Amino acid sequence: MAGVSSESLTKALDELELRLPFASLQLAKELFSILGTIDSSAGLRRALTDPSRSGEEKSALVKQLLSGKVSADAADIAAGLASSRWASARDIGDALETLAATVVIAVAENKSAVSASGITGLEALENDLFAFNQAVASSHEVQRALSEPQASAAAKIALAEKLVPGASQEAKVLIAQAVSNPRGYKPAKLVANFAGLAAKRQQRWIATVTVTRPLTDAQASRLQAGLNNLYGRELKININVDPRLIGGIRVQVGDEVLDASVIGRLSELRRQLAG
């Protein structure tokens, strides 16, 4: 997805972010259901991506179509997509799929640690998706069954769940979507795409810290506390040592890079590390 469609997706994801702290699997399921409706009608896709129609007109069309059938949140998200510009009829469906998957991933992210070992909901989701793809890759019979056009969606979902019986509810929703409506992909490929979205989101909360010399336990604890306070949540911190570093400390969280030599946000952390 590129150009105007990429810009529209980025805008939609930014708007979705405000809903994610309160996200539910029901919302994701509704968005996937709307995706099925859009995918089933070429005429509807053309209408929603027609550049000659105003955004307001297309948004109103979606709200009328979905009235009483889904929650207000789901209808608003779909209407917001319809009001944006898309380079192709396929792109609006791809965007809706991404938003629905992001909701599922956020539900996993919002969980507290799920085991004594401290595995987070996001990590558990990624593990479950990876386990499913490993199970599919190990059996040509399973691959054929999941790709069989005559098999019902219910049968494919039942088979998929047998492959990963201990999977989380979030993983089951994404796997069920991949096997029942792969949208031209092989199910395993779509599951891999979903896993990629989960991994990208998890990177937002992993801090890669580069320092000029090894930290003491006390310094590492102060660094952890300072970064947690800076970002307003618990971060996973990976520490690298590079004596060539200029500025004393460099922090990367997701796509954001903070360099203490040029960015004032880390001045307090530098004072803390100095002890």
Beta bridge partners of 208: 238, 252
Instruction: Inform me whether the pLDDT recorded for 116 exceeds 60.
Output: no
- Average pLDDT for residues 36-59, to the nearest whole number? 93
- Where is pLDDT greater, at 73 or 233? 73
Q: What is the mean pLDDT of residues 157-179?
A: 96
Higher per-residue pLDDT: 263 or 220: 220
15 vs 272 pLDDT, higher one = 15
Q: Flag whether pLDDT at 208 surpasses 60.
A: yes
- What's the rounded mean pLDDT across residues 165-178? 96
Q: What is the pLDDT of residue 17?
A: 93
For residue 248, is it left (φ>0), alpha (ψ between -120 and 50) or beta? left
256 has which bridge partners?
Answer: 253
| In the predicted structure, residue 175 carries a pLDDT above the cut 60 | yes
pLDDT of residue 213: 86
Mean pLDDT confidence for 173-189: 95
Q: Please provide residue 15's backbone torsions phi and psi, each rounded to the nearest 5 degrees.
A: -70, -35
Query: For 206-274, which CATH class?
Result: alpha beta
The pLDDT score that the predictor gives to residue 44 is 93
Mean per-residue pLDDT for 35-57?
A: 93
Mean pLDDT, the chain, as a whole number? 88
Angle between helices 217-231 and 267-274 (to 10 degrees): 160
Average pLDDT estimate for 175-191: 95
Measured between alpha carbons, how far apart are the two ends of the chain, in Å?
A: 48
- Average pLDDT rounded to a whole number, residues 147-167: 94
Structure confidence at residue 223 as a pLDDT band (50, 70, 90): confident
For residue 257, name the pLDDT band (cuts at 50, 70, 90).
confident
Strands of the 256-259 sheet, one edge to the other: 236-241, 206-211, 249-253, 256-259
Mean pLDDT score, 19-30: 95
Count CB-CB contacts under 10 A for residue 249: 19
pLDDT value at residue 262 = 43
pLDDT in tens, 129-140: 999 999 999 999
**If you count them, how many residues does the chain have?**
275
Q: pLDDT band for position 207 (50/70/90)? A: confident
Report residue 61's pLDDT band, with 50, 70 and 90 as the boundaries. very high
Longest dimension (CA), the chain: 68
Better-scored residue on pLDDT, 232 or 61: 61
pLDDT at res. 224: 86
List the domain boundaries for the chain.
3-109, 121-203, 206-274
Per-residue confidence at 212, pLDDT binned at 50, 70, 90? confident
Q: Is the pLDDT of residue 202 over 90?
A: no
8 Å CB contact between 207 and 238: yes
